[in-house]
Amino acid sequence: MPQKQTRKQSISATRGARKRDEDSGTDVGDGTDEWSQSRATVRPPDQLELTDAELKEEFTRILTANNPHAPQNIVRYSFKEGTYKAIGFVNQMAVHFSQVGNLIPKDSDEGRRQHYRAELAAGSQESAKVVTSETEVLEEDEEPKEAETEAGSQTDVPAAAETTEKVVEEELMAPVQPKERKLTNQFNFSERASQTFNNPLRDRECQMEPPPRTNFSATANQWEIYDAYVDELEKLEKTKEKEKTKTPVAKKTEKMAMRKLTSMESQSDDITKVTQAAKIVERMVNQNTYDDVAQDFKYYEDAADEYRDQEGTLLPLWKFQNDKAKRLAVTALCWNPKYKDLFAVGHGSYDFMKQSRGMLLLYSMKNPSFPEYIFSSESGIMCLDMHGDHPYLVVAGYYDGNVAIYNLKKPHSQPCFRSTSKSGKHTDPVWQVKWQKDDMDNNLNFFSVSSDGRIVSWTLVKSELVHTDVIKLKAEGSSATDIPEGLQLHTVGCGTAFDFHREIDYMFLVGTEEGKIYKCSKSYSSQFLDTYDAHNMAVDAVIWNPFHTKVFMSCSSDWTVKIWDHTIKTPMFIYDLNSAVGDVAWAPYSSTVFAAVTTDGKAHVFDLAVNKYEAICNQPVVAKKKNKITHVQFNPIHPIIIVGDDRGHITCLKLSPNLRKMPKEKKGQEVQKGPAVEIAKLDKLLNVVREVKTKT
């Protein structure tokens, strides 16, 4: 009966629960307790009340594998493209719980090794337990047989279980013998390094005290951030006021200088970019404008030379001029030793009463309309030379006696190094400068000659020009023997030109205003090796032959050009050009060809192998008769010459084929070329002249 009552109560309870589920109100069933009937739901006054339709509305929920906390705007730098790029794929894995366990799978290598070590340890321990177990077995056999009868009365099932347990215990008690490891063959084995892993990974752990921690809490509001910025500004203003009180003037000047420097640097960077682009465009325009001239320079040969045996012509190509160098005479010409299309021009004035500024311009045949480099000076430039190993270094001599070195790599227009009155500058105009080999300490070295009679060696030591007087020229017959020593007056010889021997390093020639040519040595400063009575007026140029080491040439304002053998005091050849000779130059391709320019505006080209009595080309180069040609130079590679006049113009002329004749081919013989052939060709002419002089 009590079981039936409980079943009835449970049925009534389930019915009451169903009624509660069906009712939509808050009424409570009859079977509930009294305390639950008096309980009422508490709602906030602003709770949203929904209708039955809204409550019964179903919302579909989709379960996705995306991590809502994963970042969506990760960017990484791409070294290939050089920019930051957004990453499209982001790892969506979210780790909720991770625990590092200490369980090892049995099938893994580490589990097998651990099991093997445990079996070895158990085998050693069980061998000791076997002896004790045998003694226990004997004691059990001596027990009374009553226990055996009681055990026999039990059922067969527990007896079978005991037998199985004994078999398992015997198997476990039996010592497990470890497998024997094969020994390596002592006569055939590999090195140990080949039997180890390559760079095995190792994990090391250590225990340490955790770093001390502190709790810090603060609030960051807009007014607190504002107050912090205001305090920082006040501190900065106080430090600035202290600095102003200490050095107010110096700081202002430094700031202004820094501002000027930064502005100038930024402007210079922009200007250099613009100038580079302008240069490229200018060259492109000139290439099209002077295309016919460039074609003549490269390919044109005068066909009329075939009908003229001993005559040649000069073809005008380009004309170089600059508005800034107007009415400044061309005082020096020099080709760049590395870039064969680049040459330097020095501008000044030979008139004592009309001395003004000077200019150093560098032109390129690729752009005849405007110079590549422009340098201005307060005094006129009278001479210049370009370094053979450092083609960007240009040394110049001025009319006021100074010398300076320009560096074409530096953009500013002032010379890098300049002599001063303290460093031993000349007191008269510098008429010629020449680079020489570096000294024993690899310092740059050049020589200069001036009208003050000094030949000075200049050395660039620690960004400073150091001078050494090599020799002082003295006019012959200047001192009389009858006059006492204290009253004697030594007149100084005025040097106008010089040139250094190409093989004998210490030997050089010096030409003077008196018409003398001195053969000097760098080692002897008090005497000359030899003296030549060369000309009746000032010597304008002295040049060694580029092939023959004994031959040199000189020209003078007495209208003559003379060719000398330095072992003979009399000239080998004399040429009268009927006008003052401004300059002469040997051709780089032949030992017998040279050019001379005169003040009447003509250029003369001689070839001693063709005609040793007259020039094979006499051609006026300057249009106006008043213009005077001052200098001439051969190009080292191309068959052209450049000629400068006293109006600041430079004219480029091409030599016709008759002016650059090479030895003709003979049947069955190859044409011999080289310095030895040129020396033999000039020696042949000199031997004829020597024989004539010995007979006379």
- 335 strand-pairing partners: 343
Is 70 exceeded by the pLDDT of residue 255?
A: no
Contact 641, 603 (CB under 8 A): yes
Rounded to a whole number, what is the largest CA-CA distance in the chain?
177
Retrieve residue 6's tokens.
């409980």
- What are the distances in angstroms from CA 344 to CA 60, 359, 369, 404, 623? 90, 10, 15, 15, 23
- What are the distances in angstroms from CA 607 to CA 589, 590, 647, 687? 12, 9, 29, 17
Least confident of 26-40, 484-498, 519-533: 26-40
Closest alpha carbon to 380 in 360, 357, 401, 403: 357
E-assigned strand segments in 437-481 = 445-450, 454-460, 465-472
Mean pLDDT of 193-201: 61
* Residue 175, amino acid: P
- 654 strand-pairing partners: 315, 640
User: What is the overall mean pLDDT for the chain?
Assistant: 79
The H or E element containing residue 356 is none
591/413: higher pLDDT = 591
Nearest-5° Cα angle at 208, 205 to 212: 140
CA distance 343 to 318: 13
The tens digit of pLDDT for each residue in 147-174 reads 444 444 444 545 555 555 555 455 544 5
Determine, yes or no, domain membership for 632. Answer: yes
Share of the chain above pLDDT 70, in %: 75
Contact 648, 329 (CB under 8 A): yes
Buried b (16+ CB within 10 A) or exposed e, 2-16: eeeeeeeeeeeeeee
The tens digit of pLDDT for each residue in 94-123 reads 888 888 878 888 888 888 888 888 888 888
CA distance 553 to 585: 9
Retrieve residue 373's tokens.
């480099």
341/181: higher pLDDT = 341
Give residue 206's pLDDT.
76
Does the CA dihedral 469-471-473-478 come out positive or negative? positive
CA distance 53 to 73: 41
Share of the chain above pLDDT 90, in %: 19
Give residue 7's pLDDT.
47
Determine, yes or no, domain membership for 276. Answer: no
For residue 71, name the pLDDT band (cuts at 50, 70, 90): confident
Give residue 216's pLDDT.
81
Closest alpha carbon to 505 in 454, 457, 460: 457
For residue 382, name the pLDDT band (cuts at 50, 70, 90): very high
Distance of CA 422 to the CA centre of its chain: 38
CA distance 607 to 39: 136
Torsion-angle region of residue 463: left (phi > 0), alpha (psi -120 to 50) or beta? left
Give residue 181's pLDDT.
60
The tens digit of pLDDT for each residue in 616-642 reads 999 898 876 778 899 999 999 999 999
Buried b (16+ CB within 10 A) or exposed e, 593-624: bbbbbbbebbbbbbbbbbebeebbbebebbee
Give residue 394's pLDDT.
92
Least confident of 224-238, 254-268, 271-285, 598-612: 254-268
CA distance 566 to 552: 7
Beta-sheet strand order (sheet of 581-586): 581-586, 593-598, 602-607, 617-620
Determine, yes or no, domain membership for 458. Answer: yes
Determine, yes or no, domain membership for 39. Answer: no
Is 80 exceeded by the pLDDT of residue 356?
A: yes
For residue 404, name the pLDDT band (cuts at 50, 70, 90): very high
Closest alpha carbon to 305 in 641, 639, 545, 674: 639
Distance of CA 626 to the CA centre of its chain: 51
The tens digit of pLDDT for each residue in 410-450 reads 867 788 888 888 888 888 899 999 998 888 888 899 999 99
For residue 403, name the pLDDT band (cuts at 50, 70, 90): very high
Domain of residue 439, CATH code: 2.130.10.10
- What are the distances in angstroms from CA 250 to CA 244, 257, 258, 332, 513? 9, 10, 12, 47, 56
Closest alpha carbon to 170 in 126, 132, 136: 126
The tens digit of pLDDT for each residue in 467-485 reads 888 888 876 654 444 555 5
CA distance 356 to 243: 49
The H or E element containing residue 516 is strand 516-521
The tens digit of pLDDT for each residue in 636-675 reads 999 999 999 988 899 999 999 888 877 666 555 666 677 7
* Residue 54, amino acid: E
Closest alpha carbon to 431 in 472, 458, 403: 403
Does the CA dihedral 632-634-635-640 come out positive or negative? positive
* Residue 314, amino acid: L
Determine, yes or no, domain membership for 368. Answer: yes
Give residue 606's pLDDT.
92
Determine, yes or no, domain membership for 57. Answer: no
Give residue 37's pLDDT.
55
The tens digit of pLDDT for each residue in 274-332 reads 878 888 888 888 888 888 888 888 888 888 878 887 888 899 999 999 888 888 899 99
Determine, yes or no, domain membership for 678. Answer: yes
CA distance 491 to 493: 7
Closest alpha carbon to 555 in 521, 522, 617, 509: 509
Is 50 exceeded by the pLDDT of residue 487?
A: no
Contact 475, 461 (CB under 8 A): no
Determine, yes or no, domain membership for 310. Answer: yes
CA distance 235 to 238: 5
Give residue 587's pLDDT.
92
For residue 581, name the pLDDT band (cuts at 50, 70, 90): very high
Range of the domain at 625: 301-695
Q: How many domains does the chain have?
A: 1
Give residue 22's pLDDT.
45
Is 60 exceeded by the pLDDT of residue 142?
A: no
